Structures are given as structure tokens and as C-alpha cells.
Amino acid sequence: MKRLKVFLEVVEIKTKVASLFPFLIGLLFSVSYFKSVNWRNSVLFFTGMIIFDMATTAINNTMDYKKAKSDLYRQTQNVIGRENVSESAVTNMIFAMLGITLLIGLLLSWLTGWLMLIMGAIVCFIGIFYTFGPVPLSRMPLGEIFSGFTMGLGIFAITVYINTVNNPVFYLDIDFVRGIFYLSGKLYGILAILIAAMPLVLTISNIMLANNLRDLEMDIKNHRYTLVYFIGREHGILLFQSLMYAAYVFILVGLLLGIFQWPILWIFVSFPKVRKNTTEFTKKVPLPSSFGYAIKNMACFNLNYAIALVLSILWQMV
């Protein structure tokens, strides 16, 4: 039982909601906008996505433990040091999860086409090197950009892709005999995907930004020079507020362009709570409790985003 508890802490199972929402909203958007769904592909992708997310989190905790300059952090804050977990055991666990993800990815590529292989490889590459390597992306002023777009847009776009295989929004065909390839796509469909994904990109980016705003001093001690290090905590807080409220702007833009239907306005039910959380976050940074408000904002906004898409689907059925 304790091993399971430690495993779930190493992979930070509670944070997997950040992956769940891009998948769920991507699935609902495929139904509401493209009128298409493929449950087999969705189940396969969801399984691989969660396993890979757990693997990258384990990599993150391992690299933070190895690269930490603060003994206090290594022994009291990082789960590997605090629970005296064997580094070799964590490494074996990571390789096992990556292996399972690879097998699922290859199966999905065989079922849906070459583009799945390429998109999946890009997302996995960024996911791994976000925390791994001599200069991980998370230790640079790029963390918010890569985390937001990889999860918010990458997972969302792949979810749409695997659910629209019968009438693809974008498709890649490779002819190895003649040495040529064909890449096609529907311009307005791709634009719809980009606009619908932006609220996810912004709310997920804010999670990383909130983490960096909270941990600025500890990050500096551990030689992590994030975006907040360069722009300062005050400007970082302003950026946090701007990204959160911009998510609502993209919803309105999508409604005006006909990407969403009027039930999408349900999303504004979340606005009072999000505004309150944002205000509390601003007051409490850099206290440890401040980070929770970013999680609450992401969950509150995207849960209502999902509900709004469900209402849109029901409206279409009337």
C-alpha cells in the first residue's frame, strides 16, 4: 500500500487533471463542431496520454532531485529524497511507462495515419526534454510556452485528429516508392482548432507560471532561471491575470466566428469564481498556498468549458 502511495506521489497523480481537460474538451469539440467521434481511438489515446504524463512527471521529480543545489529541498520537499526512493527503481518505472506509451502510439499511428506518429513524436519529445537533459526547457524562460502549447494545443489537436479519421481535418500521406508526400488540411477547420484550444493553452500555461511565481527564490538557489526570474514577480502576476482573462476573450471570438454556438456562453458562469481565485492568488503569492488557486482556476474554467460544449451538443440535437 505504501509503495502504491509513493508511486502515485512520484507521478503526482493529482495533477493529471491538466491532461484530462484537453482530451475531454477535444473530444467534445470533435462531436460539437466536426460531428465526429471514434471511441476506440479515444480510449487508446487517453490511456497512452495518462501513462506518458505520469512518466514525464516522474522524470521531472528525478531531475529536480539530481540537479538540486539545496539539501533542504532534496531531503524534505522532493518525494524521492523524502521517501528514500531508489533512483534505479524510479528509472525502471519511467522506461516501462515510456515503452507502453510507444506501443500505444505505434498502434494509433497504424490505425489513423502518419501524422499521428509525427504529432505524437513532437509532443513526447517536448514532454521528455521539458525536464530532462543538460538544459531542460523547464529551467529556461520557455516553460510556460512549451507546457501550454504541448498540452493545451498538442493533446487537443491529436484528440480531434484521431476522432475525425473518416473525414480528416488534416492528413499526411507518404509514398515511399516515389519518394513524395502529400499534406492536406481544411483551413477553417484548423483555425477552429487553434481558437478552441487557446483557452486550454492559457489556463495550463498559468499553472506553470503560478508554480514559478511561488518558487522564485528556491528556483534561483537551484539555478533554475524561469520566465519570472527575467520579468520579475510583479510583472509575472500581471501576466497571470492577463492570460486567465484572455481565455474568455478567445471563447467570445470563437462565438463571433461561428466556431461555437450560443450555449458556449455558459462558460461565463465560471467568471465570478475565477476572478475571486485570481484576486486571492495575487494576494498570497509567494506563499505555498497560492499555487492552489491556479489549479482551481484551470479546473473551474475548463470544467465549465466542457459543460458548455455538452450543452451545445444537446442544443444541436433538439
Report the pLDDT value the prediction gives residue 58, as an integer from 0 to 100: 87
Q: What are phi and psi of 181, to 5 degrees?
A: -140, 155
pLDDT of 243-290, one tens digit each?
Answer: 999 999 999 999 999 999 999 999 999 999 999 999 999 999 988 888
Report the pLDDT value the prediction gives residue 201, as an integer from 0 to 100: 96
Write down the pTM of the prediction.
0.91
Report the pLDDT value the prediction gives residue 74, as an integer from 0 to 100: 66
Report the pLDDT value the prediction gives residue 219, as an integer from 0 to 100: 81
Q: Which residue has the cell 507560471?
A: 209
Instruction: pLDDT band for 223, please (50, 70, 90 cuts).
Output: confident
Q: What angle do CA 12, 299, 28 make, to 5 degrees?
A: 105
Domain encompassing residue 158: 2-317
Q: Which whole number is the average pLDDT over 184-207?
A: 96
Helix, strand or coil for residue 224?
A: coil
What is the enclosing helix (H) or strand (E) of 228? helix 227-256
Q: Return the closest-CA partner of residue 204 out of 158, 157, 155, 159.
A: 155
Task: Return mean pLDDT, the chain.
Answer: 89
pLDDT of 198-220, one tens digit each?
Answer: 999 999 999 989 989 998 888 88
Q: How many domains is the chain partitioned into structurally?
A: 1
pLDDT of 72 above 70: no
